[in-house]
Homo-oligomer: A and B are copies of this chain.
Amino acid sequence: MNAQPKTKAVVLLSGGMDSAVVLAQARADGCDAHALSVRYGQRHNAELVAAAQLAAALGAASYRIVEVDLRAIGGSALTADIDVPEAPSEGIPVTYVPARNTIMLSIALAQAEVLGASAIYVGVNAVDYSGYPDCRPAFIDAFERLANVATKAAIEGTPMRIVAPLIDLSKGDIVRLGLRLGVDFALTVSCYQADAQGLACGRCDACRLRAAGFADALVADPTRYATPA
Protein backbone atom coordinates (compact mmCIF):
# COMPACT_ATOMS: atom_id res chain seq x y z
CA MET A 1 0.00 0.00 0.00
CA ASN A 2 1.73 3.12 -1.23
CA ALA A 3 0.56 6.42 0.14
CA GLN A 4 -0.19 9.03 -2.52
CA PRO A 5 2.99 11.13 -2.82
CA LYS A 6 2.43 14.59 -1.39
CA THR A 7 2.36 17.64 -3.62
CA LYS A 8 5.62 19.53 -3.29
CA ALA A 9 5.34 23.28 -2.93
CA VAL A 10 7.80 26.13 -2.53
CA VAL A 11 6.60 28.71 -0.01
CA LEU A 12 8.07 32.22 -0.03
CA LEU A 13 8.63 33.01 3.63
CA SER A 14 9.67 36.49 4.74
CA GLY A 15 9.30 36.20 8.49
CA GLY A 16 6.29 38.49 8.47
CA MET A 17 2.80 37.46 9.50
CA ASP A 18 1.31 36.99 6.02
CA SER A 19 3.84 34.49 4.70
CA ALA A 20 3.71 32.58 8.02
CA VAL A 21 -0.03 32.09 7.50
CA VAL A 22 0.66 31.02 3.90
CA LEU A 23 3.14 28.36 5.05
CA ALA A 24 0.56 27.07 7.53
CA GLN A 25 -2.02 27.00 4.71
CA ALA A 26 0.32 25.03 2.41
CA ARG A 27 0.78 22.47 5.19
CA ALA A 28 -2.99 22.38 5.79
CA ASP A 29 -3.43 21.78 2.03
CA GLY A 30 -1.33 18.64 2.48
CA CYS A 31 1.83 19.89 0.77
CA ASP A 32 5.43 19.06 1.45
CA ALA A 33 6.30 22.73 1.95
CA HIS A 34 9.81 23.91 1.09
CA ALA A 35 10.26 27.35 2.62
CA LEU A 36 12.41 29.90 0.81
CA SER A 37 13.56 33.31 1.97
CA VAL A 38 15.21 35.82 -0.31
CA ARG A 39 17.79 38.09 1.31
CA TYR A 40 17.65 41.04 -1.07
CA GLY A 41 19.53 43.64 0.92
CA GLN A 42 16.70 44.61 3.24
CA ARG A 43 17.79 46.83 6.10
CA HIS A 44 17.51 44.34 8.90
CA ASN A 45 18.06 40.69 9.54
CA ALA A 46 15.37 40.14 12.16
CA GLU A 47 12.84 39.02 9.54
CA LEU A 48 15.13 36.22 8.34
CA VAL A 49 15.81 35.02 11.89
CA ALA A 50 12.03 34.89 12.32
CA ALA A 51 11.62 33.04 9.01
CA ALA A 52 13.97 30.25 10.06
CA GLN A 53 12.09 29.84 13.35
CA LEU A 54 8.73 29.82 11.57
CA ALA A 55 9.91 27.20 9.03
CA ALA A 56 10.77 24.87 11.89
CA ALA A 57 7.67 25.65 13.98
CA LEU A 58 5.29 25.13 11.04
CA GLY A 59 6.85 21.89 9.79
CA ALA A 60 8.50 23.00 6.56
CA ALA A 61 10.22 20.15 4.68
CA SER A 62 13.25 22.38 4.10
CA TYR A 63 14.33 25.97 4.58
CA ARG A 64 16.70 27.83 2.32
CA ILE A 65 17.90 31.43 1.93
CA VAL A 66 18.91 32.76 -1.49
CA GLU A 67 20.80 36.04 -1.72
CA VAL A 68 20.22 38.66 -4.40
CA ASP A 69 21.83 42.01 -3.87
CA LEU A 70 19.17 44.55 -4.80
CA ARG A 71 21.20 47.28 -3.11
CA ALA A 72 23.18 47.33 -6.38
CA ILE A 73 19.94 48.63 -7.92
CA GLY A 74 18.41 50.63 -5.08
CA GLY A 75 15.29 52.72 -5.66
CA SER A 76 13.49 51.85 -2.41
CA ALA A 77 13.51 52.82 1.24
CA LEU A 78 14.11 49.13 1.97
CA THR A 79 17.24 48.79 -0.19
CA ALA A 80 18.74 52.27 -0.43
CA ASP A 81 19.54 55.17 1.85
CA ILE A 82 15.98 56.55 1.92
CA ASP A 83 14.06 56.97 5.21
CA VAL A 84 11.14 54.63 5.90
CA PRO A 85 8.09 56.92 6.16
CA GLU A 86 6.29 57.01 9.50
CA ALA A 87 3.04 58.56 8.29
CA PRO A 88 0.61 57.38 5.60
CA SER A 89 1.46 58.68 2.11
CA GLU A 90 -0.39 59.13 -1.18
CA GLY A 91 0.18 56.66 -4.02
CA ILE A 92 2.73 53.87 -4.05
CA PRO A 93 5.08 54.45 -1.10
CA VAL A 94 8.89 54.59 -1.15
CA THR A 95 9.00 51.21 0.60
CA TYR A 96 8.02 49.67 -2.77
CA VAL A 97 11.05 47.65 -3.97
CA PRO A 98 11.17 47.70 -7.78
CA ALA A 99 10.15 44.32 -9.21
CA ARG A 100 10.65 42.61 -5.84
CA ASN A 101 7.87 40.05 -6.10
CA THR A 102 8.81 39.30 -9.71
CA ILE A 103 12.37 38.56 -8.59
CA MET A 104 11.30 36.51 -5.55
CA LEU A 105 8.80 34.45 -7.55
CA SER A 106 11.48 33.87 -10.23
CA ILE A 107 13.87 32.49 -7.65
CA ALA A 108 11.05 30.38 -6.20
CA LEU A 109 10.37 29.10 -9.72
CA ALA A 110 13.98 27.95 -10.04
CA GLN A 111 13.74 26.23 -6.65
CA ALA A 112 10.44 24.61 -7.61
CA GLU A 113 11.89 23.24 -10.83
CA VAL A 114 14.90 21.73 -9.06
CA LEU A 115 12.68 20.13 -6.40
CA GLY A 116 10.02 18.96 -8.85
CA ALA A 117 7.42 21.10 -7.08
CA SER A 118 4.15 21.94 -8.81
CA ALA A 119 3.05 24.94 -6.75
CA ILE A 120 4.52 28.16 -5.38
CA TYR A 121 2.74 29.74 -2.42
CA VAL A 122 3.10 33.48 -1.90
CA GLY A 123 1.58 35.81 0.69
CA VAL A 124 0.58 38.74 -1.48
CA ASN A 125 -2.56 40.53 -0.49
CA ALA A 126 -4.54 43.11 -2.43
CA VAL A 127 -6.88 44.35 0.30
CA ASP A 128 -5.18 45.92 3.33
CA TYR A 129 -1.91 46.48 1.53
CA SER A 130 0.40 49.29 0.60
CA GLY A 131 -0.66 49.72 -3.03
CA TYR A 132 2.24 47.73 -4.45
CA PRO A 133 1.59 46.76 -8.11
CA ASP A 134 3.07 43.29 -7.62
CA CYS A 135 0.46 42.30 -5.02
CA ARG A 136 -2.52 42.34 -7.41
CA PRO A 137 -4.36 39.36 -8.94
CA ALA A 138 -3.39 40.53 -12.47
CA PHE A 139 0.26 40.22 -11.48
CA ILE A 140 -0.14 36.73 -10.02
CA ASP A 141 -2.05 35.57 -13.10
CA ALA A 142 0.64 36.95 -15.43
CA PHE A 143 3.39 35.28 -13.42
CA GLU A 144 1.58 31.94 -13.54
CA ARG A 145 1.27 32.22 -17.32
CA LEU A 146 4.99 33.02 -17.54
CA ALA A 147 5.92 30.10 -15.27
CA ASN A 148 4.08 27.75 -17.57
CA VAL A 149 6.27 28.60 -20.57
CA ALA A 150 9.54 29.36 -18.74
CA THR A 151 10.81 26.02 -17.49
CA LYS A 152 11.91 22.62 -18.67
CA ALA A 153 9.31 21.12 -16.32
CA ALA A 154 6.53 23.16 -17.95
CA ILE A 155 7.65 22.15 -21.44
CA GLU A 156 7.67 18.55 -20.33
CA GLY A 157 4.08 18.83 -19.12
CA THR A 158 4.18 19.60 -15.38
CA PRO A 159 2.06 22.70 -14.88
CA MET A 160 2.97 25.22 -12.17
CA ARG A 161 0.37 26.86 -9.95
CA ILE A 162 1.00 30.17 -8.21
CA VAL A 163 -1.11 30.03 -5.05
CA ALA A 164 -1.91 33.29 -3.28
CA PRO A 165 -4.32 32.24 -0.55
CA LEU A 166 -4.43 35.66 1.15
CA ILE A 167 -5.01 37.77 -1.93
CA ASP A 168 -8.66 38.57 -1.17
CA LEU A 169 -8.47 38.60 2.63
CA SER A 170 -8.49 41.59 4.93
CA LYS A 171 -5.67 41.84 7.45
CA GLY A 172 -8.19 40.86 10.14
CA ASP A 173 -9.15 37.77 8.12
CA ILE A 174 -5.47 36.85 7.85
CA VAL A 175 -5.07 37.04 11.63
CA ARG A 176 -8.16 34.84 12.12
CA LEU A 177 -6.98 32.32 9.50
CA GLY A 178 -3.53 32.15 11.08
CA LEU A 179 -4.94 31.53 14.53
CA ARG A 180 -7.17 28.77 13.14
CA LEU A 181 -4.11 27.17 11.49
CA GLY A 182 -2.03 27.38 14.66
CA VAL A 183 0.41 30.13 13.66
CA ASP A 184 2.32 31.57 16.61
CA PHE A 185 2.29 35.24 15.64
CA ALA A 186 4.79 36.00 18.39
CA LEU A 187 7.41 34.48 16.07
CA THR A 188 6.61 36.88 13.21
CA VAL A 189 8.22 40.27 12.53
CA SER A 190 6.33 42.73 10.33
CA CYS A 191 8.14 46.03 10.93
CA TYR A 192 10.13 47.51 8.00
CA GLN A 193 12.78 48.77 10.40
CA ALA A 194 12.82 46.28 13.27
CA ASP A 195 15.96 46.38 15.38
CA ALA A 196 18.44 43.54 15.78
CA GLN A 197 16.25 41.99 18.49
CA GLY A 198 13.23 42.09 16.21
CA LEU A 199 11.59 44.92 18.17
CA ALA A 200 9.13 46.87 16.01
CA CYS A 201 8.99 50.65 15.50
CA GLY A 202 5.18 50.86 15.70
CA ARG A 203 5.11 53.72 13.19
CA CYS A 204 5.82 52.39 9.66
CA ASP A 205 3.14 51.22 7.20
CA ALA A 206 3.80 47.56 7.98
CA CYS A 207 3.40 48.12 11.74
CA ARG A 208 0.21 50.13 11.22
CA LEU A 209 -1.36 47.52 8.90
CA ARG A 210 -0.52 44.73 11.32
CA ALA A 211 -1.89 46.51 14.38
CA ALA A 212 -5.12 47.33 12.50
CA GLY A 213 -5.47 43.65 11.50
CA PHE A 214 -5.21 42.41 15.08
CA ALA A 215 -7.59 45.15 16.23
CA ASP A 216 -10.07 44.11 13.52
CA ALA A 217 -9.81 40.47 14.59
CA LEU A 218 -10.30 41.48 18.25
CA VAL A 219 -7.11 39.61 19.14
CA ALA A 220 -4.11 40.80 21.14
CA ASP A 221 -1.05 41.42 18.94
CA PRO A 222 2.06 39.80 20.46
CA THR A 223 4.35 42.30 18.66
CA ARG A 224 7.17 43.51 20.86
CA TYR A 225 7.80 47.19 20.29
CA ALA A 226 11.02 49.11 20.84
CA THR A 227 10.62 51.64 23.66
CA PRO A 228 9.38 54.83 21.96
CA ALA A 229 11.90 57.67 21.91
Contacts and interface: CB of A to CB of B under 8 A. Distances in A.
Contact of A101 (B70, B111, B139, B150): B150
A64 interface: yes
A65 B67 CA distance: 14
A92 B155 contact: yes
Interface stretch (A13-21, A45-53, A130-138, A168-176): A130-138
Interface string A97-114: 111111101110111011
Contacts of A96: 152
Contact of A100 (B98, B100, B110): B110
How many monomers of this chain does the complex have? 2
A106 B64 CA distance: 20
A154 interface: yes
User: Quick one: which of A70, A101, A147, A150 has the most chain B CB within 10 A?
Assistant: A150
8 contacts: A64-B73, A68-B69, A99-B109, A102-B106, A102-B150, A106-B106, A133-B149, A133-B152
